[in-house]
Amino acid sequence: MADILHRIGVEHSSPKQVYDALTTLEGLSGWWAEKTSGNTDVGGVIEFRFGPGGFDMKVLELDPGRLVRWEVVDGPPEWIGTTVRWDLHQEDDFTIVLFKHEGWREPVEFMYHCSTKWGTFLMSLKQLIETGQGAPDPRDVRISNWH
Amino acid sequence: MADILHRIGVEHSSPKQVYDALTTLEGLSGWWAEKTSGNTDVGGVIEFRFGPGGFDMKVLELDPGRLVRWEVVDGPPEWIGTTVRWDLHQEDDFTIVLFKHEGWREPVEFMYHCSTKWGTFLMSLKQLIETGQGAPDPRDVRISNWH
C-alpha cells in the first residue's frame, strides 16, 4: 500500500474557513472541480466532474474545523476504495492542512501524476482562501500530457 | 518505508534538455537552489543551500537522457540515507519526468511538507525549460509557515 502526502499552510485564515472550502459545494467548486454536486453530509456522496471523467466521494467523517474524510466510491479503478483524509489545525497565522490520499494498491505511474496534481490543487485551495480566486478544473494548472 | 512520487511533462523539450537541468550546476541552480555547487559526476557530491540549511547529494548513477540517481549524504536527519531518482522518457512533444524520493523511515509531518515542496520545484523545473525562467530558492513558491 502507498500513500500520497501533502502539507500546506493557508495564511491569514482559520481552520473553519478551510473546513468550509472542503465541505460545501461552493467551496469545493472553487478550488478542485467547478462541476461539483451531491450531498456533503456524512454518508452523502459528492460528485466531482473533470471533462469526461470524475470521482465520487462518500463522506466518511466530519469534525468541524479539524477533520474531513472521504472514500472513493467511483472513478478510475486505481482510486476506488482509497480514502482521502484532511487534518486541519492552526499554527500562528496559518491554517495547516495535512492531506493524505491513502491505500493505493500499487505505486503505478498514475499515482505519480495524481501526487503532483493534488499538490497543485492544494495550492489552488490555498489561493482560493488567500485571494478569493482558486484554479479549479477546467482552469487548473496543466502539469503534463495527462493534463 | 515511504516514498514521495511525482510526475510532470515538460512540453516542447527533449530528455537531453531535462537531463542537463538535473546534471549541471547551471541547470540545478535554475530551478532548485540558486546556491548550488560541487561535483556533478558519478561519485561526486552536489551541495544545495537554502538560507541556513541545505542538502548534500552524492551522485549514484547517471544514464544520459534517461536516469539520474542521488543519495542524500548530509542535510536534515529525516533525509540522510534516502535516495532521489529521476527517470526520463519522451511521449509526444513532452519529456516525462518520473520522480521518486525513496526510503523515508516514517511518514513524519516534514515528509508531507517535502512532498508538496518537491511538487512546486518540479513545476519550477518545467517552467525553467519551457520559459527560460524557473523559481529556485530564494525565489521559490511559498507553501506554508515552513516556507
CB contact under 8 A, A7 and B112: yes
pLDDT tens, residue by residue, B96-118: 999 999 999 999 999 999 999 99
d(CA B75, CA B83): 12
Which amino acid appears at position B34 of this protein?
E
Q: What is the DSSP letter of A102?
A: E
C-alpha cell at A71: 472514500
pLDDT of residue B74: 98
Instruction: Judge whether residue A52 has pLDDT over 80.
Output: no
Residue B100 Cα to chain centre, angstroms: 9
Question: Which superfamily does A2-131 belong to?
Answer: START domain (3.30.530.20)
Residues 108-147 of chain B whose Cβ lies under 8 A from any Cβ of chain A: 109, 111-113, 115-116, 119-120, 122-123, 126, 141, 143-146
CB contact under 8 A, B7 and A113: yes
Nearest one of A63, A99, A58, A100 to A81, comparing CA atoms: A58
pLDDT tens, residue by residue, B53-69: 899 999 999 999 999 99
Domain residues of chain A, as ranges? Answer: 2-131
pLDDT tens, residue by residue, A65-86: 999 999 999 999 999 999 999 9
* φ/ψ (deg, to 5) at A62: -135, 125
- Nearest CB among A98, A107, A119 relative to B120 is that of A119
Q: What is the ipTM of this complex?
A: 0.97
What mean pLDDT value characterizes chain A?
97
Distance from CA of A103 to the nearest CA of B (A): 13
Q: Is A134 exposed, middle or buried (0-12, 13-18, 19+ CB in 10 A)?
A: buried
List all residues 6 or more positions away from B54 whose beta carbon is below 8 Å from its beta carbon: B33, B35, B47, B48, B75
State the average pLDDT over residues A94-123.
98
Q: Enumerate residue ranges in chain B where pLDDT < 50.
A: none
Distance from CA of B63 to the nearest CA of A (A): 20
Report pTM: 0.97
d(CA B147, CA B140): 9
Instruction: Judge whether residue A115 has pLDDT over 80.
Output: yes
- Alpha-carbon distance values, A10 to A6, A17, B106, B136 (Å): 13, 10, 25, 21
Mutate to test the interface with A, among B102, B144, B147 (most CBs of A within 10 A): B144
Sheet of strand A83-91: strand arrangement: A2-11, A94-104, A83-91, A67-74, A53-63, A45-50, A35-38
Q: Does B98 touch chain A (CB under 8 A)?
A: yes
The pLDDT confidence band at residue A1, using thresholds 50, 70 and 90, is confident
CB contact under 8 A, B143 and A120: no
- Alpha-carbon distance values, B86 to A1, A31, B14, B99, B124 (Å): 22, 30, 15, 5, 15
